[in-house]
Amino acid sequence: MAEQQPLNPLIILYNTDATQDDAIFETAFHKQNYSEEYTLTEFREKFKVTFRVGPRMPDCHRVIEVHPELRDKLLKAPRLFVGYRSTRARDYLRVLKCYKCHDYGHVQKYCTSVEQLRGTCGEKQHEEGTTCPLKNEDLCVSCLKRGNRIKHRNQDCPGHKLALSKLKGKFNYRT
Question: In terms of CB distance, is 32 or 108 closer to Zn ion?
Answer: 108
Three-state DSSP state, 34: helix
Enumerate binding residues for Zn ion (CB under 5 A).
Answer: 98, 100-101, 111, 118, 121, 123, 132, 140, 142-143, 157
Shortest reach from residue 157's CB to Zn ion, in Å: 3
Q: Which is nearer to Zn ion, 64 or 98 (CB)?
A: 98
Least separation in angstroms between residue 167's CB and Zn ion is 16
Give the residue with the Cβ less far from Zn ion, 9 or 159: 159
DSSP string for residues in the chain: -PPPPPBPPEEEEEEEETTS-HHHHHHHHIIIIITTTS-HHHHHHHEEEEEEES--SSEEEEEEEE-HHHHHHHHH-S-EEETTEEE-EEE-----B-TTT--BSS-GGG---SSPPPTTTS--PPPTTPPPTTTTT---HHHHTTT------GGG-HHHHHHHHHHHTTB----
Shortest reach from residue 154's CB to Zn ion, in Å: 8
User: Nearest distance from residue 93's CB to Zn ion, in Å?
Assistant: 18
Q: Which is nearer to Zn ion, 37 or 137 (CB)?
A: 137
